[in-house]
């Protein structure tokens, strides 16, 4: 999936987002939490203020948000920030 960036992209900021899919989103989230990935709570991409104090901090690597159900992904999606600072959005397959 490709999408238009909302602003300028600086190569050093790793301003890229990966969108991937899974067959069992809830099980994947539970597995990540059981493996030591920090629970960052809610992340709402429509609101520019990140609701969890963990998002956007130096400790923001290795975080998983709660599952949300936006209009374009009614089965659910979650946001994950990996150890390198990359953002993954993971959607539930039909």
* CB proximity list for 59: less than 8 A, separation 6 or greater: 38
Domain for residue 69, yes or no?
A: yes
Summary mean pLDDT of the chain? 78
Domain for residue 2, yes or no?
A: no
Domain for residue 11, yes or no?
A: no
What phi, psi does 89 have (nearest 5°)? -105, 130
Structural domain for 25, as ranges: 16-79+82-92
pLDDT score of 47 more than 50 = no
Domain for residue 7, yes or no?
A: no
Q: How far apart are CA 37 and CA 27, in angstroms?
A: 14
What phi, psi does 32 have (nearest 5°)? -60, -45
Domain for residue 8, yes or no?
A: no
Domain for residue 9, yes or no?
A: no
Domain for residue 1, yes or no?
A: no
Q: How far apart are CA 4 and CA 43, in angstroms?
A: 20
pLDDT at 15: 67
* Structure confidence by residue, pLDDT tens digits, 56-82: 554 545 889 999 999 999 999 999 988
Specify whether the CB–CB gap between 19 and 4 falls below 8 A: no
Q: How many domains does the chain have?
A: 1
């Amino acid at each position: 999936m490709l999408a238009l960036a909302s602003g300028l992209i600086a190569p050093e900021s790793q301003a890229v987002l990966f969108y991937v899919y899974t067959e069992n989103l809830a099980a994947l989230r539970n597995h990540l939490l059981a493996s030591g990935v920090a629970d960052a709570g809610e992340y709402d991409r429509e609101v520019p203020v990140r609701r969890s104090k963990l998002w956007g901090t130096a400790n923001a690597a290795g975080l998983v948000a709660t599952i949300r159900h936006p209009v374009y992904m009614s089965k659910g999606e979650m946001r994950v920030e990996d150890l390198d600072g990359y953002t993954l959005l993971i959607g539930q397959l039909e």
